């Protein structure tokens, strides 16, 4: 068979993920905080981009400048260029003090560098140029657990080695104040005997808050009770059998520690007043307020109105005037190419932000349409819904819907929900009707358990039968158990003990 070369021409279609397209996809899944950070980064890198608010503020400043130039001649005559506020050095010299005491937040800078206004008798205002001070920089930082303990440790230990061991132990604490490493491991890491580490640890366990530097809950409570002089043998026996307390098997516990039910009730009341996580009082994590990306309201005619939260959408503009001005002055080819790239990048960002907003609104509108019963009647009418169901209706890919609903929140008359909340699996109906949402079934199970009486505690099997007979929801016993545990409810046996004892 002869081997020969030949040239063939064929056509094919494929999708190439360009950098711009990948960035546009990335924008879809960003929350408003991440989006704001991304846009701010682009504003720093691209000289042609500017915020709409900043653009408006620039116009306002020009108007103020024109008004300032119209100050009457009498004022200009009274306030001359020689009547100025002295520098920090001059003021310090007049008052016979250090420069640091004049403007401590502006050490080494002229005192007039901040944005300031001076009013004269004629109510005219002189605007002194400069950046406004960052007030947030002067807010006192919240004291951390590590700093609080170290302040006490330096007073306890004079020896440098002991302080190093104390520092290591402090750094080994978790957020709750528990010691995350064993003494043997710490001893081997530091190359110091376990007795020496234990001695330092015993002193540190007297620090405030009482209960830190413990290895488990039992030791944490024991130290707190000891400080209150309440760690008697009966209380120590209760702490040794905390597993029975968790199981609410108080009858067995009373036999083991030889205590009456009233004694156990009193001791459990004391335990409730203790702090199981003493270190969390110094938690410095900031709570982020949930801000809705979409608002859903019902109009007078019953139609749902869906609108984007414009307050969290960055308004970006392209400064084409600046582009035209700079373009005329450029001569080098590389500079012209850079300017064109900046223009293309700016146009792409604005287009991507607009497309992102339209896509979010489109997905939110379809979610509201499919979950109309939930918005009107509540969670028991939440319908099972998948990404594919929404994607097919709005003619988008499932991955696009998944990205759009990630880290996005929607405000409804029923409250603020994450968009992902509305996507739930379906449970078959025993009557053959439409399937039910798993979230609705979970809510019904919670209601059943909350309404239990001491003589009618429901088992998982009983709950499964009630769901089938009352609500036509076909749920197996194991599924009920899974939902119950996700709601942090104990088993029927433990719940019955709880209600009988009426203690926990």
CA distance 112 to 109: 8
- Asked if residue 333 lies in contact with residue 412, where contact means CB atoms within 8 angstroms, the answer is no
**Residue 116 host element (H or E):** strand 116-119
Q: How far is CA 201 from the centre of its chain?
A: 34
Using alpha carbons only, what angle is made at residue 136 by residues 280 and 58, rounded to the nearest 5 degrees?
145
DSSP, collapsed to helix, strand or coil, labels residue 482 as helix
pLDDT of residue 391: 92
Question: CA distances (Å), 97 to each of 86, 100, 111, 114, in order?
Answer: 15, 8, 15, 21
Low-confidence residues of the chain: pLDDT under 50: 54-55, 57, 64, 67-68, 70-85, 105-131, 503-504
pLDDT of residue 363: 93
Question: CA distances (Å), 75 to each of 64, 79, 129, 409, in order?
Answer: 17, 6, 20, 55
Using alpha carbons only, what angle is made at residue 431 by residues 426 and 437, rounded to the nearest 5 degrees?
20
Quote the tokens at residue 293.
């990306």
CA distance 130 to 112: 8
Neighbours of 60 (CB within 10 A): 10
pLDDT of residue 125: 41
Residue 309 is classified by DSSP as -
Neighbours of 385 (CB within 10 A): 19
CA distance 128 to 118: 8
DSSP, collapsed to helix, strand or coil, labels residue 62 as helix
Residue 164 C-beta-side C-alpha neighbours within 13 Å: 10
CA distance 405 to 364: 9
Residue tagged 């029927």 (tokens): 492
Residue 14 is classified by DSSP as -
pLDDT of residue 115: 38
pLDDT of residue 432: 54
β-partners of residue 295 are 307, 411
CA distance 101 to 95: 10
- CA neighbor of 364 nearest in space, from 331, 401, 313, 339: 401
DSSP, collapsed to helix, strand or coil, labels residue 164 as helix
Q: At what angle do helices 183-190 and 160-171 cross, to 10 degrees?
A: 130
Quote the tokens at residue 194.
């376990």
pTM more than 0.85: no
Cis previous bond, 305, omega within 30: no
Give the torsion sign (CA, 494, 499, 502, 504). positive
| Secondary structure string (H, E, C) spanning 367-421 | HHHHCHHHHHHCHHHCCCECHHHHHHHHCCCHHHHHHHHCCCEEEECCEEEEHHH
pLDDT of residue 279: 87
- CA neighbor of 155 nearest in space, from 198, 194, 206: 206
- Asked if residue 110 lies in contact with residue 102, where contact means CB atoms within 8 angstroms, the answer is no
- Asked if residue 233 lies in contact with residue 469, where contact means CB atoms within 8 angstroms, the answer is no
């Amino acid at each position: 068979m002869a081997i020969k070369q030949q040239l063939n021409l064929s056509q094919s279609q494929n999708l190439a993920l360009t950098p711009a397209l990948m960035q546009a996809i990335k924008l879809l899944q960003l929350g408003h905080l991440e989006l704001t950070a991304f846009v701010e980064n682009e504003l720093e890198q691209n000289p042609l981009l500017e915020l709409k608010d900043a653009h408006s503020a620039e116009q306002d400043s020009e108007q103020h400048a024109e008004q300032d130039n119209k100050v009457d001649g009498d004022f200009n005559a009274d306030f001359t260029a020689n009547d100025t506020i002295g520098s920090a050095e001059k003021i310090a010299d007049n008052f016979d003090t250090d420069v640091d005491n004049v403007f401590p937040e502006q050490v080494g800078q002229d005192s007039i560098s901040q944005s300031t206004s001076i009013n004269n008798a004629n109510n005219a205002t002189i605007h002194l140029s400069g950046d406004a001070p960052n007030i947030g920089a002067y807010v006192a930082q919240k004291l951390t657990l590590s700093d609080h303990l170290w302040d006490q440790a330096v007073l306890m230990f004079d020896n440098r080695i002991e302080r190093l061991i104390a520092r290591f132990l402090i750094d080994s604490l978790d957020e709750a104040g528990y010691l995350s490493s064993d003494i043997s491991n710490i001893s081997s890491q530091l190359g110091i005997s376990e007795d020496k580490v234990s001695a330092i640890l015993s002193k540190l366990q007297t620090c405030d808050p009482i209960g830190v530097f413990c290895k488990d809950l039992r030791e944490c409570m024991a130290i707190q009770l000891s400080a209150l002089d309440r760690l008697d043998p009966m209380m120590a026996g209760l702490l040794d059998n905390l597993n029975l307390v968790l199981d609410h098997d108080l009858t067995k516990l009373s036999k083991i520690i030889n205590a009456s039910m009233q004694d156990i009730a009193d001791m459990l009341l004391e335990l409730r007043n203790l702090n199981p996580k003493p270190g969390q009082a110094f938690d410095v994590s900031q709570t982020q307020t949930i801000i809705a990306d979409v608002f859903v309201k019902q109009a007078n005619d019953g139609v749902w109105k869906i609108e984007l939260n414009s307050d969290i959408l960055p308004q970006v503009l392209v400064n084409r005037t600046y582009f035209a001005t700079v373009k005329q002055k450029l001569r080098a080819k590389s500079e012209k190419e850079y300017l064109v790239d900046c223009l293309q990048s700016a146009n792409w960002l604005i287009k991507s932000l607009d497309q992102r907003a339209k896509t979010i609104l489109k997905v939110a509108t379809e979610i509201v349409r499919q979950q109309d019963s939930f918005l009107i009647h509540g969670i028991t009418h939440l319908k099972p819904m998948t990404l594919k169901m929404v994607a097919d209706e709005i003619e988008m890919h499932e991955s696009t819907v998944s990205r759009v609903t990630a880290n996005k929140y929607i405000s409804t008359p029923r409250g603020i929900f994450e968009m992902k909340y509305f996507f739930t699996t379906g449970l078959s109906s025993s009557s053959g009707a439409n399937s039910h949402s798993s979230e609705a079934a979970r809510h019904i199970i919670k209601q059943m358990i909350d309404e239990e009486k001491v003589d009618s505690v429901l088992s998982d099997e009983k709950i499964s039968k009630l769901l089938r007979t009352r609500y036509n929801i076909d749920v197996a016993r194991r599924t009920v158990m899974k939902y119950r545990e996700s709601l942090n409810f104990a088993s029927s046996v433990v719940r019955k003990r709880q209600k009988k004892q009426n203690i926990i």
